[in-house]
Copies of this chain bind each other. A is one copy, B any other.
Amino acid sequence: MFTNYILDVSEGLITLVIYDITEDDVRLRVARFLRAKGLTRIQKSAFIGSLTVSARKDVENGVSKLIYGKKANVQIYPLTPASYSQRVVLGVELRYDDQDRLIA
């Protein structure tokens, strides 16, 4: 078990974004957008972060536009601090560069 990020759960809405996007360029654009919104990558296709209500709405709207008409599925979950702290992380930390390539 490991923690590769520190999340301030004292304010804002803890938000988990998971995605399944078939086209590489669309997936890359969504990853960059989520990072730009202040979310932290926790897996190749998952980001998490603490967002204000309006930032969360921005994320929803921005992602909607980026995946419009594409073979893509994005799911956004609000988490309670308890849900977040009770998560279980198994395996190793996998990190990616800005081209979504695994850093070995």
Give the interface residue-count category, chain A: 35 or more
Known contacts being A19-B43, A46-B18, A80-B80, is A74 close to B91, with CB within 8 Å? yes
- How many copies of this chain does the complex contain? 2
Q: Contact mask A39-60 → B, CB, 8 Å, 1/0?
A: 0001111100000000000001
Question: Which A residues lie at the B interface, using CB under 8 A?
Answer: 16, 18-20, 22, 42-46, 60, 63-64, 67, 70-80, 82-84, 86-94, 102
**Please, could you name 27 A-B residue pairs with CB atoms under 8 Å apart, sorted by A?**
A16-B16, A18-B43, A20-B45, A20-B46, A20-B94, A22-B94, A42-B75, A45-B45, A60-B90, A71-B94, A72-B92, A72-B94, A73-B90, A73-B91, A73-B93, A73-B94, A74-B89, A74-B90, A74-B91, A76-B88, A77-B87, A78-B86, A78-B87, A79-B83, A80-B80, A80-B83, A83-B83
